């Protein structure tokens, strides 16, 4: 089976080649993202493999169907970038990687919290320049703080376990509260209660119509002054314009994001020699209390191994005519 892999980086190709050496699969790698303008590259392929910022909308799906693509294999958990109705209409199969090292993302969320709080990134740069002053590096104890967790699936639950070790009180919101987390001392409440009571809020929910812009002007108004907000889930959970206003009026004291609403135009690319035309990201970067990483929370050896192996197994099941373990529809 011929597989077209879009949005390929050198590390993606390295892992796929490592695990398909003896497989009856032929992979062709494209560094361009999949969208309606690049869908013709899939001509002659039975499977396309895509990532978080590929645009799998109706127009793209129509073109893939015309080229005979029968399977879209996501090498990620989320599928908010896929038009599910168009997938059903064209009878194309859709599979994903439902879970890959929740520890990777949860640990990165904690890293953002610690870095923003204790300003270790700034201390590192200072010391390298011979500046050993502690001025403006004051942090706070995590112990005793209330951490709000929105979404307690595998990643959110793992995050709860880690942050609990710091002696934090955990308030959580999820449509399906975990009895196991309750036994561990996690207190569930309404979304409004989480917003009002938390000193730190970490987002671990999927992006859908109900959660889009869950952090907005209205929800920010409910929060404590100086709130720390962490997002390692999906960029559009936060209304960027509203969070910038929150930073400007000091409602938001700290912001750590590994995802961004318009990241498909920026992330995974080296733009160091180019003029960035996204005014919102430039404004965010200008704030000293904002820390941005470019969708690297998942990026550990363990996660890459799980993503690659699950994706290959998904494709092999399709080729063999077996039931698809990780089918979305």
The DSSP H or E segment spanning 159 is helix 154-164
Among the listed residues 135, 190, 202, the one whose alpha carbon sits nearest the alpha carbon of residue 166: 202
Contacting residues for 274 by C-beta, under 8 A, at least 6 apart: none
Contacting residues for 195 by C-beta, under 8 A, at least 6 apart: 148, 201, 219, 222, 223
Task: Tell me if residue 118 is catalytic.
Answer: no
The dihedrals phi and psi of 107, each to the nearest 5 degrees, come to -65, -35
The one catalytic residue in 234, 261, 264, 317 is: 234
Bridge-partner residues for 150, per DSSP? 173, 203
The one catalytic residue in 75, 96, 108, 295 is: 295
Task: Tell me if residue 295 is catalytic.
Answer: yes
The DSSP H or E segment spanning 253 is strand 252-257
Q: Give CA separation, 190 vs 130, 170, 171, 313, in Å.
A: 48, 13, 9, 39
Task: Tell me if residue 204 is catalytic.
Answer: no
The one catalytic residue in 261, 263, 264, 317 is: 263
Residues belonging to the active site: 234, 263, 295
């Amino acid at each position: 089976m011929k597989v077209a892999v879009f949005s390929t980086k050198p590390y993606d190709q390295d892992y796929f080649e490592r695990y398909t050496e003896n497989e009856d699969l032929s992979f062709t790698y494209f560094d361009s993202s999949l969208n309606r303008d690049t869908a013709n590259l899939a001509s002659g392929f039975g499977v396309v493999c895509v990532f978080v910022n590929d645009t799998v909308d109706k127009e793209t799906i129509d073109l893939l169907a015309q080229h005979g693509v029968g399977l879209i294999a996501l090498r990620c958990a989320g599928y908010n970038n896929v038009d599910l109705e168009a997938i059903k209409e064209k009878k194309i199969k859709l599979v994903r990687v439902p879970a890959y090292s929740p520890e990777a993302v949860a640990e990165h969320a904690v890293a953002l919290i610690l870095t923003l709080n204790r300003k270790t990134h700034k201390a590192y740069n200072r010391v390298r320049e011979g500046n050993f002053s502690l001025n403006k590096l004051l942090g706070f104890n995590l112990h005793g703080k209330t951490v709000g967790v929105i979404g307690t699936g595998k990643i959110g639950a793992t995050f709860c376990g880690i942050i609990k070790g710091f002696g934090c009180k955990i308030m959580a919101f999820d449509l399906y509260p975990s009895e196991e987390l309750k036994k561990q001392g996690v207190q569930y409440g309404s979304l409004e209660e989480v917003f009002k009571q938390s000193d730190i809020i970490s987002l671990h929910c999927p992006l859908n119509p109900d959660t889009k812009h869950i952090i907005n002007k209205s929800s920010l108004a409910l929060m404590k002054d100086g709130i720390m907000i962490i997002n390692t889930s999906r960029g559009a959970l936060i209304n960027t314009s509203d969070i910038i206003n929150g930073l400007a009026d000091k409602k938001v004291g700290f912001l750590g994001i590994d995802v961004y609403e318009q990241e498909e135009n920026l992330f995974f690319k080296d733009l160091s020699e180019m003029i960035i035309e996204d005014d919102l990201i430039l404004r965010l970067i200008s704030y000293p209390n904002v820390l941005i990483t470019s969708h690297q929370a998942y990026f550990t050896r363990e996660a890459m191994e799980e993503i690659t192996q699950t994706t290959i197994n998904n494709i092999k099941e399709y080729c063999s005519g077996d039931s698809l373990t990780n089918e979305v529809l």
